């Protein structure tokens, strides 16, 4: 009936078989939301490191009080002369402090920590210099010098980010699986509880899809309700995590600042949960009924 809303032929809203379904879906959506937040922030962190460090070398000259400024100048000059190097920029101690601050926090840097001298080098990513040769040459000019292209470190970070994303995906898949099994179970209970009504519907000409529709509509509304509840609970959790992370104020840690389109993934979670719930109910009904004589 189009305009007039009439009662369901199978009174699923009156029995207890689906009572806990919204709560269970809520828990699942909650876990999925946390997994999604973890994966998103981890991949954003990796991206930040990646773009921040591409085409950049850091040359570290030990803070040796005995070494004079000439040695440092020689290193700078050698760098400038190297093919593939675009820019050479020695950092004063203020810049170094600023650089380290997001990594270590400002508390660490107020003391008289002996800081090495750093040279920021920009290289041509299309024709990069030979890092190993460069390292050897600088070692000769100023023993203890280091050329760091951050690559090894960056690779490990990217591995970590990818692993976290994968884990989040596994969590989501498991959550969907658990939800489906649960819905199948609840649906079977409903089918058994309403066996006689369903038999009657069949006897007056209902097809299996008609019966399935009764169940899937009910499951959709339960799933949506549960999904929204789960999301509503997940948001304060994420907000809290974000606050705690911001308080630490270190660039090493991921942030939980999401862009608009990233927030829309979270809004899609309850919708997806409702669809999964609905589909699981439909498949269960159709498969169970098809087995009837």
Partner 1 sequence: MVRFEDVVLRYGNGPEILKRVSLQFDPGSYHFLVGASGAGKSSLLRMMYLAQHPSAGRVALFGRDVTGLSRRETALLRRRIGVVFQDFRLLDHLTARENIALPLRISGQAGARSDKDVEELLSWVGLADQMDALPPTLSGGQQQRVAIARAVIGRPSLLLADEPTGNLDDRMAVRLLHLFEELNKIGTTVVIATHNESLVQRFPHPVTRLRDGEVEIAGAVPPGTAPATHTVSQRGGD
Contacting positions for partner 1 (CB under 8 A): 1-2, 6-7, 9, 11, 14, 196-197, 200-208, 210, 289-290, 292-293
Closest separation between CB of residue 281 and partner 1, Å?
Answer: 19
Closest separation between CB of residue 207 and partner 1, Å?
Answer: 4
C-beta closer to partner 1: residue 69 or 292: 292
Measured between alpha carbons, how far is residue 14 from residues 11, 17, 24, 194, 224 in Å? 6, 9, 19, 11, 18
C-beta closer to partner 1: residue 60 or 197: 197
Closest separation between CB of residue 285 and partner 1, Å?
Answer: 13
DSSP the chain: --SS----SS-GGGSGGGTTHHHHHHHHHHHHHHHHHHHHHHHHHHHHHHHHHTTEEEEEE---TTS-HHHHHHHHHHHHHSTTEEEEEEPPHHHHHHHHHHHH-GGGGSS---PPEEEEEEE-SSS---HHHHHHHHHHHSTT-EEE--HHHHHHHHHHHHHHHHHHHHHHHHHHHHHHHHHHHHHHHHHHHTHHHHHHHHHTT--HHHHHHHHHHHHHHHHHHHHHHHHHHHHHHHHHHHHHHHHH--TTS------HHHHHHHHHHHHHHHHHHHHHHHHHHHHHHHT--
C-beta closer to partner 1: residue 10 or 32: 10
Residue pair 249/168 in contact (Cβ under 8 Å)? The answer is: no
Closest separation between CB of residue 221 and partner 1, Å?
Answer: 17
Kindly give, in sequence order, each residue whose CB lies less than 8 Å from that of residue 73, ignoring residues fewer than 6 positions away. Answer: none
C-beta closer to partner 1: residue 207 or 246: 207
Closest separation between CB of residue 179 and partner 1, Å?
Answer: 28
> How many whole angstroms separate alpha carbon 186 and alpha carbon 183?
5
Closest separation between CB of residue 202 and partner 1, Å?
Answer: 7
C-beta closer to partner 1: residue 167 or 206: 206
C-beta closer to partner 1: residue 13 or 47: 13
C-beta closer to partner 1: residue 152 or 291: 291
Closest separation between CB of residue 246 and partner 1, Å?
Answer: 54
Closest separation between CB of residue 188 and partner 1, Å?
Answer: 19
C-beta closer to partner 1: residue 165 or 208: 208
């Amino acid at each position: 009936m189009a305009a007039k809303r009439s009662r369901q032929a199978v009174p699923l809203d009156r029995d207890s078989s689906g009572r806990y379904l919204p709560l269970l879906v809520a828990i699942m959506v909650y876990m999925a939301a946390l997994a999604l937040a973890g994966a998103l922030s981890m991949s954003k962190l990796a991206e930040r490191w990646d773009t921040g460090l591409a085409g950049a070398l850091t040359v570290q000259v030990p803070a040796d009080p005995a070494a004079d400024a000439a040695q440092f100048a020689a290193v700078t000059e050698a760098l400038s002369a190297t093919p593939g190097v675009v820019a050479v920029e020695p950092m004063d101690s203020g810049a170094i402090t600023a650089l380290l601050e997001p990594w270590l926090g400002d508390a660490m840097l107020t003391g008289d920590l002996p800081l090495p001298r750093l040279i920021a080098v920009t290289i041509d990513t299309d024709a990069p210099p030979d890092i190993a040769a460069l390292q050897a040459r600088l070692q000769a000019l100023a023993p203890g010098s280091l050329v760091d292209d951050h690559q090894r470190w960056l690779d490990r970070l990217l591995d970590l980010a990818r692993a976290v994303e994968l884990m989040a995906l596994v969590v989501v898949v498991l959550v969907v699986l658990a939800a489906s099994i649960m819905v199948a179970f609840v649906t079977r209970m409903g089918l058994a509880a309403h066996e006689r009504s369903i038999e009657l519907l069949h006897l007056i000409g209902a097809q299996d899809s008609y019966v399935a529709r009764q169940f899937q509509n009910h499951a959709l509304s339960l799933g949506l309700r549960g999904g929204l509840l789960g999301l509503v609970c997940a948001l304060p959790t994420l907000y809290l995590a974000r606050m705690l992370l911001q308080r630490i104020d270190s660039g090493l840690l991921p942030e939980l600042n999401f862009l608009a389109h990233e927030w829309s993934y979270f809004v899609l979670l309850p919708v997806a949960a409702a669809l999964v719930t609905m589909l699981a109910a439909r498949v269960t009904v159709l498969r169970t009924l098809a087995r009837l004589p």
